[in-house]
Amino acid sequence: MADPVIYLDHQATTPCEPAVVEAMAPWWSAQFANPASRSHRPGLLAAAAVEQARAQIATALRVESTAVVFTSGATEANNLALKGLAEAELHAGGRRRHLLCLSTEHRAVLDPLRYLSRHGFELTELAVPASGLVDLEQLRQALRPSTLLVSVMAANNEIGVLQPIAAIAELCRSRGIRLHCDGAQAVGHIPLLPAALGIDLLSLSGHKLYGPKGIGALVVAPGVTLAPQLHGGSQEQGLRAGSLPVPLIVGLATALELALADQAARAVRLKALRDQLWQQLQELGGVHRNGAPAPRLAHNLNVWIEGVEGSALQRRLRPHLAISSGSACSSGEPSHVLQALGLSRQQAAAALRFGLGRHTSAADINSAASLVRAAVTELRQG
């Protein structure tokens, strides 16, 4: 029997915790009713489960329950936030047409914004230095009286750097600009309270925090008006049509509570393992960390390695080690994030992203480092 693959791709997705699976179980079969069917008891029970989960999430994020809008994940939440805000501005007769984001945003932000730029809006994709961290003065100078929205992710999905969201929010608030934050990689991993930070729209996803795939949410601040992007029903305050997936919603709420319960201790443990991995990889020489050493997610390490061809390195590691060279949504192309930091296509292709997780052990890290060292040494010797 082949040795098990060491999984270090937790920023692509995380395993669903057994307690989350258990919480979802009754809602798949025994209690399967549609929560929109309020004329009978099973439907009312399903509706109550949805609202209890919504209240759990709202309490965890310290917002009102009405602020939580369920979606199929962060991608849909991003689209609802970005397109919804832009369309609402048009419908209201507003004149703001300028949108701003960082060049290192996830494609689930870049693509909707680029779509809007082809339909009457103007988009600025702000460059970042090699650290990956926004230059606040450069951001301030890029803002205009016509700026409607700024979108900056809290934690980058590839290089793990943490942006100064509170400072960005202050720049936006003083100018009446809405701030959207893709929090898919941050919620459940770092303290992130949208109201306290000044975030108007926060996207999150269940499968990034040990919950199920296919469920997420958009947290909408009071006073923010959005145009719905899915039509065909009045669910979710008219913002998102479609029957609600009760098991997934229950799973999301459970996963978030569990993630917050061990968030601090998990970060301390994974940071130590991450730093151990970095030290071991440095023994190779020619290993460069992508993005600032801090502030960044405790469970992220992204490096590029001199003297190897990226696809050859991935082929050697694939039978033993589950890691990636970039976003899970990049379709094999060299990372646009790493190229935005100044890496060439060849350097970006020779990058490795290690995403540690709740169940990653010291033995996993030692084995991963040994596998990478062996593969790189072999490739360099040619």
Active site residues: 329
Structure tokens at 13: 């997705």
Helix axes 74-91, 107-117, angle to 10 degrees: 20
| Nearest partner of 324 among 347, 303, 298, 299, judged by Cα | 303
Measured in degrees and rounded to the nearest 5, phi and psi for residue 6 equal -80, 120
Neighbouring CB atoms inside 10 A of 31's CB total: 15
Q: E strands within the chain?
A: 6-7, 68-71, 98-102, 122-126, 147-151, 178-182, 201-205, 216-220, 287-289, 300-305, 321-322, 351-355
What gap in Å lies between CA 283 and CA 112, rounded to an integer? 42
| Residue 247 token pair | 């098991």
CB 201 within 8 A of CB 85: yes
